[in-house]
Amino acid sequence: MSGETPWWKGAVVYQIYPRSFQDSNGDGVGDLPGITRRLDHVASLGVDAVWLSPFFTSPMKDFGYDIADYCDVDPIFGTLADFDALVARAHALGLKLIIDQVYAHTSDAHAWFRESRAGRDGDKADWYVWADAKADGTPPNNWQSVFGGPGWTWDARRGQYYMHNFLASQPQLNLHNPAVQDAILASARFWLERGVDGFRVDAINFAMHDPQLRDNPPAPPGPRTRPFDFQLRVHNQSHPDIPLFLQRLRGLLDEFGATFSVAEVGGGDPIAEMRAFTQDEAHLNSAYSFAFLYAPKLTAKIVADALAEWPGAAGEGWPSWALTNHDSPRALSRWAEPATRDAFARMAMLLLMSLRGNAFLYYGEELGLTQAEIPFEDLQDPEAIANWPLTLSRDGARTPMPWDDEAANCGFSDARPWLRLGEDHAGLAVNRQEADPHSLLHLTRRLIALRKAEPALRLGTMEGLVAEGDLLRFERRYGNRAIRLAFNFGEGPLELDMEGEVLAEVNGSAGHLLPPFGGVALLV
């Protein structure tokens, strides 16, 4: 590969949810020293980078996405010295380190909000989104919160409502204010100077609101589990000035060299925003696709439609793909019955490592972890508690990593874990799969190694994309080297008219027959 190719392009990124990776101090909660201890496992996979979900100072009402101090580590996870040690160990192992940045809101425990709510005349009076009540005392408009109920909460100290797209304890920052942007960028610089290699920017399309506070129009009929689903969210998010702020962030990142930035952009129709946030070389490097994260079933057509949105046109950003993450139910429980999960996991791993873009691997995905069943009385997730039982709990995808099936709590902690482990997770533990050369863990290493060895898979174009029933086919090409790939999403075998040297195959794919959930990569 060219020496001019940035390290992040085509990278495989391993997401760690800090609470659930490894507990080092016996309190039942994962922490930064625990992550440092387990980085050898991550490096052994062959991934390029680690993405850490939030570890910042927080009251943990939304488990770190409610930040009370952008520039410190919450004591439950350790100290800044622990973070520095983690960075040093990651870099020694050849791993880049990416951290979450949450710019749409803070915790109500943040010093900025305490000062803002104290009165209408202070230096930070307009650092958050405040508005007067209507004449009848009701909120300023009809905006709704993701987690249920109005997107406004009354504050008696100011005699005004403050806006929140999520929990009432997550007040919305006024990112239209240049002083707020300056403060946010200063906090980003803090972490870049400590050695981080990039950012995943959380919920960035929620970062700016309509200053006119216009009502959202009603949404057409469709699935609805929350008041939030009844509206087209055209005014409480997705403001056209967001890309201007991202230009400022990109300028800061460029000061530090080969860093990486990826936008999280959710919603019903995110493609236009994803492109705007990653356009040319002036914005973020990549956008994190939701195309597969909530799909109840994975089909050849769903994959083909998602890939077709990123054809590689001039000025287009670089996509990032994930099958599951900390906000979505684990993919195998959504897409496969118990009897076929192992086969489906193998096909899905080959697929993920074959896509044009970056591949994000969620912790435990290399083991084939399933969604854990968490009873209501043990739920921690505020969204699941608020909307029970109509939403799938995020807790079931955040359970502790099983390291050793013979150790207490599978080696995650000596104490009772903050969430119970999945009932079938001990049988999928790292030690068991290390001992089995045919395990998903070993297959994952081989497929990541293949991706790194083949520029066509890491950097190549996507050509000949076809979905025919259960069959998905496409070709990755880099220079004069081409790799053809085929996947069978069905439970019956398919005839396959493809020739070439087999670089990888899963579930017994061979010759002209693609078995159920089979996949093959052929050098042609």
Q: 7: closest CA among 86, 77, 98, 84?
A: 98
Q: Encoding tokens for residue 261?
A: 């930035």
CA distance 337 to 134: 52
C-alpha Rg value of the chain to the nearest Å = 23
The 3-state DSSP class for residue 231 equals strand
Which positions ≥6 away from 125 have C-beta within 8 Å? Answer: 116, 119
Angle of helix 32-45 relative to helix 80-92, nearest 10 degrees, comes to 10
Q: 64: closest CA among 34, 117, 101?
A: 101
CA distance 258 to 88: 17
* Long-range contacts from 309-314, C-beta under 8 angstroms, 24+ separation: 309/271, 310/356, 310/357, 310/462, 311/462, 312/356, 312/461, 312/462
Cα–chain center distance at 334: 17
CA distance 178 to 438: 55
Q: Are 199 and 141 in contact (CB under 8 A)?
A: no
Which positions ≥6 away from 164 have C-beta within 8 Å? Answer: 105, 145, 151, 152, 153, 170, 171, 172
Ranges of H-type helices in 24-130: 32-45, 80-92, 111-117
Q: Encoding tokens for residue 87?
A: 């960075």
Q: 484: closest CA among 512, 456, 452?
A: 456
CA distance 456 to 478: 5
Residues tagged active-site: 202, 255
Q: Tell me, what amino acid is at 440? A: L
CA distance 316 to 16: 28
CA distance 51 to 55: 11
Q: What single-letter DSSP state applies at residue 228?
A: G
Q: Encoding tokens for residue 110?
A: 């943040």
CA distance 26 to 22: 10
CA distance 375 to 53: 24
C-beta neighbour count of 466 within 10 angstroms:
12
The 3-state DSSP class for residue 153 equals strand
Angle of helix 271-278 relative to helix 242-255, nearest 10 degrees, comes to 40
CA distance 419 to 355: 33
